[in-house]
Structure 1
Amino acid sequence: MGKLSFDFSELPGTADPWGPSDKVPVTFQFNDVPYAPFSKTDKLGKVADWQQAKEEDLPRRYQERRRDQYHAYGASAAKLFGAEANEEDFSIVDTNTQPESKQTVLRGGRRGQMRGGRADNGGRGGRARGGGAAGNVWRDNGRNERYDGRSGNGRGGNNWNNRGNSRWGGRGRYNNSRYASRYYNREEQNKDRSPSVKVESDWPLVSEIELNKLTKLNLIVKKAAETISTYGTLNVYNKKFELFRPEPMKQSKRSTPHHPATKDPVLQKLASQEEGGVFATDSVLAQLMCAVRSAYSWDIIVTKRNGSIYFDRRPGTDRIEVDENSQTPPTDEKKDSIDSATNLSEEATAVNRSFIASSITTATHELEHSETPFEPNSKASFNTGYKYVKYSLPTGDDEHPLNVFVRSQADAYQAGDKLVSVNALTQYNPSASDDWKTKLVTGSRGVIFASELKKNNNRIARWTAQAMLGDLDALKIGFVSRKIPTNNTKHVVVGALTLHLQFSLPR
């Protein structure tokens, strides 16, 4: 076998580390030269084509019909393989033309043209009603316009300082048809309301809880509500109003007497048997449960006696508020007006009593104990049923839960051994588009009830919570409207809805 022709004389010595040589061979003549791909179909252009970058930035729709498309070859792709050198001192002069700033002249719409006054900023007044679709008249010193008002606006534009008389524009402070309710509502929401109880300076602060933090509270009750006993005699509920046939409502002066929890003989007897329990009425607990929904101030009385805690409300604080959660709630600025907040509250409370009296029959039904635990009812009071319920709330100790005893109130009895709660909503100043006497009869009940849920959210939530706390079977809500908007003494019952308490709560 012949001698191999391989020459190993140029190999590095074994003393040197293994790997490529640290010297670049002479054959690498194009070392450190940037690579630029090319194609034989490249178009020969300029040495430095400064216009090319601008054309590449054009949208695709402007390049579809170009004869010579720019490809990533040659000089076009040189920027993709540039050397990583320090180019901080290198800059390109921007040859783009800057657009000239022009003063914008606002003009009104073209339809329904009306000549407006001359504006201070160079624009013309609106041609459409009140300034046009986009016209803003900052100061109108011209002739009196038909549709522009003093500090008012028409339908299309803003007129901050118009000195003309108005037919469509108003004269109020917030008279912009688009933003009027927004600024008015902001002022009403930020308005400081007087507290229900005057806090004296020498009262010590025991605890302070923010209402928004109460929305995150949740308590899972594993045990069902336990009915202890029922007292009283109830009248049978009449379903005639559920047919939605408007009928004049008869005024009633009967009322439900107020019995605080501290003077309830049944709760006192339970307190003597139960140590460390909580005793309250359904209305007080419902107010606490719906505290985050309230917009008006309220207070409760807490009494601690022999290890037991009692929750009560002050007499005279059970009035029903009207449109408490509305964007434009009623105010007491005009106390003599029948639509003031105080007068509406008194009216709603009286309407609620009269509706209960109108929705029951003369037939009666006796509960477990036919007599109430209180003194004999007078002729000026309703037949009321009382149901005592016990709730066991979980604590850290499973063997010693917190027992809460609730006295709930039922207003009527319904066939099938059902106890129901009866309440009423009041409409005091209806418009043509939401008059209950016509809209509820024609079938717009869901829309109207959804609107009432927004305006009287706290009120309806409290009614629902009271019915749930008392483990009642249904909640009846009546719709009562004024016979004449200017008379708050005569009303019409338009109809009534039934809310079945089908909630995922243990029974």
Structure 2
Amino acid sequence: MSLPQFSLSTFDKNESGWGPQAHPTAIDSSVPFQQFNKADRVGRVADWIGVDRYFGRRTADRYNERMYGSAANAGSQFDYIHGMEDNNFQLVDSSKPIQRNPQRNFRARQLQFRKLLQKDQEKRDMIAQGQNLRMKRSIAKEQQRAFKMWQKRGGNARQGPRGQGGRYQGDRPKERLPSVQVRSDWRVIEEMDFPRLLKLNLPGVGSGEDINEHQYGTLHFYDKATDRVNVKNPIQLQRCGGSFYNVTTTEDPIIEQLAQKGIGNVFATDIILATLMASTRSVYSWDIVAHRVGDKLFFDKRDTGGFSNPVDALTVSETSGDTPPFEGAGINNAKDLATEALYINQNFRRQVLKRTDEGHKMTNAKAPFEDDAAGDSACAYKYRKWKLPQNINGKPVEVVCRTEHDGVMLSPNGELQYLTIKAFNEWDSSFSGGVDWRSKLDMQKGAVLATEMKNNSCKLAKWTLQAVLAGSDVMKLGYVSRVSVRNSAQHAILGTQQLKPVEFAQNLSLSLDNAWAILYCIISSCMKQPPGKYLLLKDPQAQVVRLYALPDGTFDSEASSSGDDRNDSDDDQ
């Protein structure tokens, strides 16, 4: 068997140089031939790593020359050439393309996406909370309005800096002081908390009856021209001279006379009974002295001189959410506002009466404690009696009280009606949490009255109870405002309002049955004690009234140092 033959191709020998000949005959002339020289290195057959991607154009050229000894265009004969260039390509649609702003489109899509998210969130809120969207918006507006009012009032500046001395780190506000300092030798007998008192009920007390002919004083007729006063046509509050009598129970000669005759066994004045009956609405501290003498009980006020006793004080914004400071600089502290309210009420009561005309005289034209030199008090006093339907220790309870009327007027039928005249006072609506009277009073008097009922619930309850105890037919309420919020001496009457006491008590949510029950509970606690002196003190920080047993001689030094005068009279300045 013969082996296969291997024959080599014929190569043309280059006799004149190195390498193949310039015009080889063994190679097809259609195949391109790459020129080379002896300095050329072995180059790349193919570039699989893409050097141009990792190097710049100039860097790639140097790299190829350094590694392969030739430039990047050394093998340009084998480069691929496109058969069709981009210039030969044409679109079928020759219309001009619409240029759009991509940023604007992005914002539109973003806004639409936010709206969808907001709607979806609102739907989830409605399902979770069950609230109407309008209600939520109104609540937000109300919160914003309250925040703006808080900023207008001074914000953090009125409450002190944050941190030490402020109210943001758990510090308590300045505590209200008690009306009288409790001594160590005073013994607590009983504590009557407000929740328990509010549950009491004593129906069937009745409207009371006058005691014989014990009616004193002269009443003037009400000037009905005052009812035409409004915000656009106000009148200035005048300074009316007169005497203000502030005679307490044990200093009243008529009550002493009735007690000796055995008429009644519980004695007090209308302001004392009203304070006890409306005690559950009080915020500030007050105190009342109870004298247990034999089988009788006398509710009395401490002799503090003038009208500074907390029972007589006409508190301002006592039950509001933002009560004025008890003491402090300026004219808007609680003490100065109470003095201003007393000044307004006494002058308003006289100004709205026809004092030049002959008034209505009671059975006795003058009370025994009135002074001839001091002048007319423009007030009438009635001594009235109530018999409570329950007994204490087997004995009936008969309450005797001195009540007051401020004026009279004729009804459309020509009947004589007794009046109780009081006045609201506006000091600064932005700080008191109220409404601006000059913008709301003529059109929304009900809203103004509702605000006063909220901010002065205790004072209004006492006024209403005084009118009910006296048997007044009508309550005349005046709206008196400062001419300037920074001046507490000049005031203007902006309007009046007429109400019936019993109906107004219902508007105040004041239950007369509950008021009589509270009074009966206090009377029972005092009547069960042995003869002596006791003190009813409303705690300034808690909703409780405490009954203290006082040692003999307590408060006697205060009474002796105040003088022997039984009546306190102040003339308007």
Normalised TM-score (structure 1): 0.60
**Aligned residue number for residue 437 of structure 1:** 438
Q: Tell me, yes or no, if structure 1 residue 258 matches structure 2 residue 259.
A: no
**Aligned residue number for residue 368 of structure 2:** 373
Q: Secondary structure at the match of 1:489?
A: strand
**Aligned residue number for residue 309 of structure 1:** 297
Question: Which runs of 4 or more aligned residues in structure 1 lie more than 6 Å from their structure 2 counterparts after TM superposition?
Answer: 166-169
Distance 1:167 1:294 in 2: 29
Deviations 1:342-384 (A, max 9, x none): 2111111111111112111122110122221324344455221
Written as runs of structure 1 = structure 2, the 5 A alignment for 1:35-54 is none
Q: Secondary structure at the match of 2:322?
A: coil
Which one has the bigger helix percentage? Answer: 2
The answer on whether the counterparts of 2:404 and 2:470 sit within 8 Å (CA) in structure 1 is yes
Q: Tell me, yes or no, if structure 1 residue 280 matches structure 2 residue 263.
A: no
**Aligned residue number for residue 326 of structure 1:** 320
Residue identity opposite 1:330 in structure 2 = P
Q: CA deviation at 1:240?
A: 2.4
Distance 1:169 1:425 in 2: 26
Deviations 1:73-96 (A, max 9, x none): xxxxxxxxxxxxxxxxxxxxxxxx
Q: Tell me, yes or no, if structure 1 residue 386 matches structure 2 residue 381.
A: yes
**Aligned residue number for residue 198 of structure 1:** 181
The answer on whether the counterparts of 1:244 and 1:440 sit within 8 Å (CA) in structure 2 is no
Q: Tell me, yes or no, if structure 1 residue 428 matches structure 2 residue 421.
A: no
Distance 2:439 2:337 in 1: 22
Distance 2:300 2:345 in 1: 22
Deviations 1:118-171 (A, max 9, x none): xxxxxxxxxxxxxxx9xxxxxxxxxxxxxxxxxxxx969x9xxxxxxx999965
Q: Secondary structure at the match of 1:262?
A: coil
The answer on whether the counterparts of 1:275 and 1:307 sit within 8 Å (CA) in structure 2 is no
Distance 1:483 1:428 in 2: 9
The answer on whether the counterparts of 1:275 and 1:308 sit within 8 Å (CA) in structure 2 is no
Q: Tell me, yes or no, if structure 1 residue 241 matches structure 2 residue 229.
A: no
The answer on whether the counterparts of 1:256 and 1:381 sit within 8 Å (CA) in structure 2 is no
**Aligned residue number for residue 227 of structure 1:** 210
* Unaligned segments of structure 1, at least 5 residues: 1-109, 112-132, 134-153, 159-165, 176-182
**Aligned residue number for residue 344 of structure 2:** 351
Distance 2:392 2:458 in 1: 34
Q: Secondary structure at the match of 2:390?
A: coil
The answer on whether the counterparts of 2:264 and 2:400 sit within 8 Å (CA) in structure 1 is no
Q: CA deviation at 1:388?
A: 1.0
**Aligned residue number for residue 213 of structure 1:** 196
Deviations 1:308-331 (A, max 9, x none): 111122343122111000000100
Q: CA deviation at 1:301?
A: 1.5
Distance verdict in 2 for CA 1:378–1:467, change over 3 Å: farther
Q: CA deviation at 1:288?
A: 0.3
Residue identity opposite 2:324 in structure 1 = P
Give the number of the structure whose alpha-carbon radius of gyration is greater.
Answer: 2
Q: CA deviation at 1:389?
A: 0.9
The answer on whether the counterparts of 1:331 and 1:341 sit within 8 Å (CA) in structure 2 is yes
**Aligned residue number for residue 78 of structure 2:** none
Distance verdict in 2 for CA 1:197–1:397, change over 3 Å: closer
Q: CA deviation at 1:244?
A: 3.1
Q: Secondary structure at the match of 1:420?
A: strand
Deviations 1:233-268 (A, max 9, x none): 111111222223311111235342111111222222
**Aligned residue number for residue 17 of structure 1:** none
Distance verdict in 2 for CA 1:248–1:219, change over 3 Å: same
Distance 2:326 2:237 in 1: 27
Distance 1:227 1:352 in 2: 26
The answer on whether the counterparts of 1:286 and 1:465 sit within 8 Å (CA) in structure 2 is yes
* Unaligned segments of structure 2, at least 5 residues: 1-113, 116-136, 138-142, 161-166, 507-511, 514-573
**Aligned residue number for residue 473 of structure 2:** 473
Residue identity opposite 1:436 in structure 2 = W
Residue identity opposite 1:331 in structure 2 = P
Distance 2:353 2:199 in 1: 40
**Aligned residue number for residue 419 of structure 1:** 418
**Aligned residue number for residue 401 of structure 1:** 396
Deviations 1:428-486 (A, max 9, x none): 11359932233212x21000000000000000000000111111111111110000111
Distance 1:397 1:379 in 2: 42
Q: Secondary structure at the match of 1:447?
A: helix
Distance 1:248 1:168 in 2: 28
**Aligned residue number for residue 293 of structure 1:** 281
Residue identity opposite 1:288 in structure 2 = L
**Aligned residue number for residue 341 of structure 1:** 334
The answer on whether the counterparts of 2:205 and 2:386 sit within 8 Å (CA) in structure 1 is no
Distance verdict in 2 for CA 1:402–1:155, change over 3 Å: closer
Distance 2:392 2:292 in 1: 22
Identity %: 33
Distance verdict in 2 for CA 1:496–1:269, change over 3 Å: same
The answer on whether the counterparts of 1:276 and 1:307 sit within 8 Å (CA) in structure 2 is no
Distance 1:400 1:479 in 2: 46
Distance verdict in 2 for CA 1:450–1:201, change over 3 Å: same
Distance 1:226 1:264 in 2: 20
Distance 1:168 1:226 in 2: 50
